[in-house]
A = this chain, B = another copy of it.
Amino acid sequence: MATTKAYAVHNSTDPLQPWNFERREPGVNDVEFEILYCGVCHSDIHQVRNEWGGSIYPMVPGHEIVGKVTRVGTGVTKFKAGDTVGVGCFVDSCRTCDNCKDGQEQYCSNGHSQTYNSFEQDKVTPTYGGYSKSIVVNQDFVLHVSDKLPLDAVAPLLCAGITTYSPLKHWKIGKGHKVAVAGLGGLGHMAVKFAVSFGAEVTVLSTSANKEADALKLGAHKFVVIKDEAQLKSVTNYFDFIIDTISAEHDYVTYLSFLKTNGVQICVGAPPTPAAVHVFNLIGGRKSLAGSLVGGLPETQEMLDYCAEHNIVSDIELIDIKNVEDSYKRMLKGDVKYRFVIDMATLS
């Protein structure tokens, strides 16, 4: 066991504060690495505050993790000390179900082990995430990260990146498609970058008129303010796909009306309350409301390699870990362009 410094919460109302805990010694197939950067995901807030229920305390949040390998187990063939690596939203899975065998560990039928607020596959050992100095993860759940890119801006690719990359690839979205990105936050800004990179015509749908310049700078071709009736008409029956990154309550019927025949609204954000969907809105144009969850290991590696090749990273604001509570407050106000990343050197 090796003592690791971290920031943690001990119940749903406490602030995040320094906490030292023991990481396991690297096993035969484990990779230990020093965490350099960890992104701050909106789901960290939900879980820290137990807004989804079932939170496990103490909790060390963080699942957008980049660092340098310090030690590897004797059976590790894929990594060596000094390698730059990443870990995303999960650190193990059953490895035996059809989805795991298919490299879709995010849909593991027996329940994958999330990077934090979860248990290892033994179902008793809690997992602790990336707001910490080091982590030990089985080599099969560790990803290679290119040193060509700024590593702080790579961290959010491990969640926000793969969450938007995966559905774009699954639905084969690219040239010839008209794609809307609903919501321009951590997920939305990555969806714009990828959809543009894949050759689609990209429109950002937002409730905030003041995000237009940013949307266009990110590469979007059009910008539509959701509250402007005239602008809404211009996109009725217009899109092949909507990447819906909004996790606040919103009117699904309105968004579905923007889809043309056979269009698909792909939800990667999920409001806490059920969506009210009139089935007529789907039937009338053979439309679909779909969901997508991060991505499997092979696809996450593919995404990281694609980003290195095409020079794609997240737009970030690097913060001191002491300011993580403040970053939560700013995120809840939408005051972030577009991802906070913790500089783990500030955790001392």
Residue positions of A touching B, CB distance < 8 A: 98-99, 104, 107, 109, 167, 170, 237, 253, 261, 264, 267-271, 274-293
Contact = CB atoms under 8 A, between A and B. Distances in A.
A108 to B, nearest CB: 10
B264 A283 contact: no
Given A264-B288, A275-B277, 12 more contacts: A99-B261, A107-B261, A107-B284, A170-B286, A279-B291, A283-B293, A284-B293, A286-B291, A287-B291, A288-B290, A289-B289, A289-B290
B109 A237 contact: yes
A292 B285 CA distance: 7
A291 B286 CA distance: 5
What is the count of identical protomers in the complex?
A: 2
- Which 4 pairs of residues, A with B, have the shortest CB-CB distance? A282-B291, A283-B291, A288-B290, A274-B276
A281 B291 CA distance: 8
30 contacts: A98-B261, A104-B261, A107-B286, A109-B237, A167-B286, A170-B286, A264-B288, A267-B279, A267-B283, A269-B279, A270-B278, A270-B280, A270-B283, A274-B276, A274-B277, A275-B276, A275-B278, A275-B279, A277-B277, A282-B290, A283-B293, A284-B291, A284-B293, A286-B290, A286-B291, A286-B292, A286-B293, A287-B291, A289-B289, A289-B290
